[in-house]
Amino acid sequence: MKRILIISVFAMIGLAGCSDKHSEPNIEPVQNMMKAPSMKAQGEDLDAPDKRGMRLPPEGTVPQGWEPYAVDDFDVANNTVKNPVPASKEVLAHGQKLYLTYCSVCHGTLGAGDGPVAPKMLLTPPSLTSEKIVGWNDGGIYHLITRGRGLMGSYESQVPKPNDRWAIVHYVRHLQQNNKK
């Protein structure tokens, strides 16, 4: 009897939190989680040692889907790293989306090196449809996206999944076939 009484008291407390009137706030028996302080992206956190609201990832951790890329030398990559992703309509569409997001500002929508940022750069981004890049293997283009070179930074953190970078390589090939310069 006593147990039933205790259970019903708990059930009543639980149900007291439910309301079908959405304009009225529910009863919040435990408020700590509802009222927890929240950080805005780029915001300041006065309690953090470096005052940054956004934390650096713990040392030795990697983003989901990230795979180490161990090749340091361009020629090694160009000659030995093979494209593991077969070309398909879907891969091309995906590569196009990524290319337009991450590459076209400099290299132009058709890869001619004439994106809107290009005139403002010290070194004009080269055309990706030149004889030179047409002559590179997929591994070379992949290496350049992953490692960057000179004034072009690495795009590994913006495009962390290897297959996404290979999709961009396919799209660059597509641009080369359709817009030779």
**Residues lying near ligand HEC in the complex (CB under 6 A):** 102-103, 105-107, 117, 121, 123, 125-126, 128, 132-133, 141, 144-145, 149-152, 155, 168, 172
DSSP state of 180: -
Looking at the Cβ atoms of 45 and 154, the one nearer to ligand HEC is 154
Tell the smallest beta-carbon distance from residue 91 to ligand HEC (Å): 15
Looking at the Cβ atoms of 16 and 117, the one nearer to ligand HEC is 117
Cβ proximity of 99 and 172 under 8 Å: yes
Tell the smallest beta-carbon distance from residue 93 to ligand HEC (Å): 16
Tell the smallest beta-carbon distance from residue 107 to ligand HEC (Å): 5
Which residues are CB-neighbours of 164 under 8 A, at least 6 positions away? 94, 98
Tokens of 112: 């001619």
Looking at the Cβ atoms of 51 and 132, the one nearer to ligand HEC is 132
Exposed, middle or buried by CB within 10 Å (0-12, 13-18, 19+), for 68?
exposed
Q: How far apart are CA 100 and CA 168, in angstroms?
A: 10
Tell the smallest beta-carbon distance from residue 96 to ligand HEC (Å): 12
Looking at the Cβ atoms of 53 and 154, the one nearer to ligand HEC is 154
Cα 11 → chain centroid: 45
